[in-house]
Structure formats: structure tokens, C-alpha cells
């Protein structure tokens, strides 16, 4: 089988992290974001994976060559020379996606969930249509494109953009399985799969939706990245609790905490809920960390308080410092002792020596 991952551009919404690493390689739950998807596709029997990108960073090429061997898949890059929207990349990758009549997966690289690829194949084959969209339920459908079904079926009738009256609460989760025939509907120009291709398929009556179990999140920006981390850890707690810090660990405060085995954590520190600690990280005595991600080789010094913060690689948080409110530190940033940072986005290699009192970009 085949799969297309829509990676897109420079991931500017996830800056300052993506000033240092291409977005697909930024670690989510201590593993590169794209690895979650490659692994799930490989497990479902996918052997050919195409990454649709606007540019091709060399470090990404090197890393993915490693994964090709590890997971026994072929990974190719499909590079857009001009932005083609969400449907154009399918046309551009036609050679791989339509090389045989079997259906192919399409997923947005920012979306995390328990990818239900095997179940999707069964469902797709059973209904016999041209396409299947994964649908997720949301509390406030008025912000999204809502799916409306033919009554009593999984067949999609139409989509309603940002509905003002209630028409349903299922939205497109950004994951699909499609027959190669769908590519024939797409022209090689900037095209939206959501606004052009899918409505056309719905009209033909060959598009179905599949309900996603469990969590779903677009983690393309820092606030959602942190929220998504919480959902992911929650899911690990159900499916692989042995991967999380045991309940009796001296430094566990509450909730789910994922710690890389090479991290060094003081027994008097308190972590949780929803904390990920990366490789080589050091956390000092009496430090407090909640709802945060600490990337590899960062240091949280004694008595620091790190709350709702992404601490970038090799960064250092000083003694009695406090960071909160979706603060994001790029690579090799220093927060000096006793400093307070409220919602700061700090670019790489900066040293912060005075308080950041309100959300601000520190260039």
C-alpha cells in the first residue's frame, strides 16, 4: 500500500522551534513528529510513503533514509515548486499513488491521534466508494467544515463551512483513504481537497466518513502542541502505561509524565501532569514542571518553575526562574536565575536577563 503525508512548508507557526529543525523532525512525545505517522503507516502494511513538501531540507533527507531501513518502507519526496494547496500534491505524486489500483492514505503531518489505518482499510473496502474521510467529533463545530451524512448512513451528503445552526458535530480530521481514481478529478494547480475535491466526490455519492475513536489534535502551533502532548500522554497511559513514569516515583507530582531514560531528575523535583522530558535533560533539586515539554539536553536548574512551556534543545532555565503561559524557548536559550517569562517566544541563542512580563517575541 501507499501513503502521502502532507508536510508543506517551513512550519512557521511552530517557531522558534522550526528555526532550528524542520517541523517533521521536532520531537513530539520524545520522537520526531513524522515518525509517529511513518510507524503507523508501516504497521498497516504501507510500503511506499511520499512526503509532499515545499522545500527539502538536507537534515530531513538524512533522517528519513534511516527510517526507510528501520521500517522497511520507501520514502520519496515530492517537492512543489509553487504551493499547490491540499489537493495539488496528490496529482504531483500520481506516479507513486496511482502505480497500482489499490487505495492510498493521505494525512496531514500536523495531526496526531491513534491512527486507525487498519480499520480504515476494512471500512473503505466494505463500502466500495472512492474515498473515506476520518471524522472526529468536536464541541464547537461552528469553527470548522462540518460533515452532513445521508440520513442513517456513513455516506457524505455535503459539507457546511462554519455552520451557524447545528447540522452535526463531525469534522474532517485530515486523514483519508482514497482510490487512485480520485486523482483524475484533480488538476495540477493550486487546489483545495476540502473545498473542491471532496464536495465533488460527495455529489457523486462515493465519499464516506469513518468515526475516529479517541483523541485528535492539530499540533501545528505551540499551544496545541502542549495540549496535544497531554492527550498523547493520556492515551499512552491507557495503551502503554509502562512507558510512563511509575506512580511511586519520588519526583512524580501528578498525572502522566514521560521521561527519557538518559535524563537526570533530582528526586526532590516535582513533575506532572503532562510533562515530557527528553534525552540528556537535567532537572535540579526542588524544580517544578507541569504541562511542558523539555527537549533534549536542556537543563532546568534547582527550584525553577516551568509551567506550560516548551523548552528547546540545549536551553537552560535558571534557579528560581519561572516560565509560563505558552512560553517557547528556541535552541540554546538561557533564562537567567530568578527571571520570570510570561508567554515569551525566544529565538535561538538568546540569554534573557530581565523579566518578560507579557507575551512577546524576543528576537
Q: What whole-number distance in Å separates Cα of residue 177 and Cα of residue 117?
A: 9
Out of 7, 8, 16, 287, point to the residue binding other proteins (CB under 8 A).
16
Among 2, 15, 21, 36, binds other proteins (CB under 8 A): 15
- To the query of whether residue 162 is one of the catalytic residues in this protein, the response is yes
Residue of the chain from 50, 263, 271, 347 that contacts other proteins (CB under 8 A): 347
Residues in contact with other proteins, counted by CB under 8 A, come to a total of 14
Q: What is the C-alpha separation between 205 and 302, in angstroms, rounded?
A: 61
Radius of gyration of the chain (CA): 22
Nearer to other proteins, 61 or 361 (CB): 361
| Chain length of the chain | 363
Site map 278..317 versus other proteins, x via CB under 8 A: ----------------------------------------
Tell whether residue 164 is a contact of other proteins (CB under 8 A): no
By CB under 8 A, is residue 79 in contact with other proteins? no
Find the distance separating the first CA and the last CA of the chain, reported in whole Å.
45
Q: What are phi and psi of 135, to 5 degrees?
A: -115, 140
Torsion of CA 115, 277, 261, 220, to 10 degrees: 30
Of the residues 91, 124, 291, 345, which one makes contact with other proteins according to CB under 8 A = 345
**Grid cell digits, residue 309:** 512551556
Least distance to other proteins from the beta carbon of 12, Å? 6
Catalytic residue among 137, 143, 162, 264: 162
Q: In sequence order, what are the residues at sequence separation of 6 or more whose Cβ sits closer than 8 angstroms to the Cβ of residue 355? A: 339, 340, 341
How deeply is 274 buried, as exposed, middle or buried, from its count of CB atoms within 10 A (0-12, 13-18, 19+)? Answer: buried
Nearer to other proteins by C-beta: 202 or 219?
Answer: 219
Residues 6+ apart with CB under 8 A from 351: 333, 334, 336
Closest distance to other proteins from the beta carbon of 342 (Å) = 16
Closest approach of other proteins to the CB of residue 85, in Å: 13
- Residue 58 beta carbon to other proteins: minimum distance, rounded to whole angstroms: 12
Given 94, 211, 332, 337, the residue binding other proteins (CB under 8 A): 332
What is the signed CA dihedral for 293, 298, 299, 305, rounded to 10 degrees? Answer: -20
Largest CA distance in the chain: 63
Q: Which is nearer to other proteins, 9 or 237 (CB)?
A: 9
**Closer Cβ to other proteins, 119 or 332, answer by number:** 332
The residue ranges that bind other proteins (CB under 8 A) are 9-10, 12, 15-16, 19, 332, 345, 347-350, 361, 363
Amino acid at each position: 500500500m501507499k501513503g502521502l503525508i502532507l508536510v508543506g512548508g517551513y512550519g512557521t507557526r511552530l517557531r522558534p522551534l522550526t528555526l532550528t529543525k524542520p517541523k517533521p523532525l521536532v520531537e513530539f512525545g520524545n520522537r520526531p513528529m513524522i515518525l509517529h505517522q511513518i510507524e503507523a503507516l508501516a504497521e498497516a502494511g504501507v510500503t511506499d510513503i511520499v512526503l509532499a513538501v515545499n522545500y527539502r531540507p538536507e537534515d530531513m533527507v538524512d533522517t528519513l533514509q534511516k527510517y526507510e531501513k528501520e521500517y522497511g518502507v520507501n520514502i520519496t519526496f515530492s517537492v512543489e515548486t509553487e504551493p499547490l494547496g491540499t489537493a495539488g500534491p496528490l496529482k504531483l505524486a500520481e506516479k507513486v499513488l496511482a502505480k497500482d489500483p489499490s487505495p492510498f492514505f493521505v494525512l496531514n503531518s500536523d495531526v496526531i491521534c491513534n491512527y486507525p489505518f487498519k480499520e480504515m482499510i476494512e471500512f473503505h473496502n466494505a463500502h466500495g466508494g472512492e474515498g473515506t474521510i476520518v471524522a472526529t467529533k468536536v464541541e464547537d463545530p461552528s469553527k470548522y467544515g462540518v460533515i452532513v451524512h445521508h440520513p442513517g448512513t456513513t455516506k457524505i451528503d455535503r459539507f457546511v463551512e462554519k455552520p451557524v445552526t447545528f447540522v452535526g458535530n463531525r469534522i474532517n480530521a485530515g486523514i483519508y483513504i482514497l482510490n487512485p481514481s480520485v486523482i483524475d478529478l484533480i488538476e495540477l494547480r493550486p487546489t483545495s481537497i476540502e473545498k473542491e475535491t471532496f464536495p465533488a466526490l460527495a455529489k457523486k455519492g462515493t465519499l464516506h466518513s469513518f468515526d475516529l475513536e479517541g483523541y485528535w489534535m492539530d499540533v501545528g502551533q505551540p499551544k496545541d502542541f502542549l495540549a496535544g502532548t497531554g492527550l498523547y500522554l493520556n492515551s499512552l497511559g491507557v495503551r502503554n502505561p509502562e512507558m510512563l513514569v511509575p506512580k511511586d516515583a519520588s519526583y512524580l507530582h501528578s498525572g502522566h509524565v514521560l521521561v527519557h531514560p538518559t535524563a537526570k531528575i533530582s528526586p526532590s523535583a516535582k513533575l506532572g501532569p503532562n510533562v515530557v522530558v527528553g534525552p540528556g535533560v537535567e532537572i535540579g533539586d526542588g524544580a517544578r514542571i507541569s504541562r511542558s515539554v523539555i527537549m533534549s539536553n536542556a537543563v532546568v536548574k534547582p527550584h525553577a518553575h516551568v509551567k506550560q512551556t516548551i523548552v528547546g534543545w540545549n536551553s537552560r532555565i535558571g534557579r528560581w526562574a519561572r516560565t509560563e503561559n505558552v512560553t517557547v524557548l528556541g535552541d540554546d536559550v538561557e533564562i537567567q536565575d530568578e527571571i520570570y517569562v510570561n508567554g515569551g517566544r525566544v529565538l535561538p541563542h538568546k540569554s534573557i536577563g530581565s523579566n518578560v512580563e507579557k507575551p512577546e517575541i524576543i528576537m
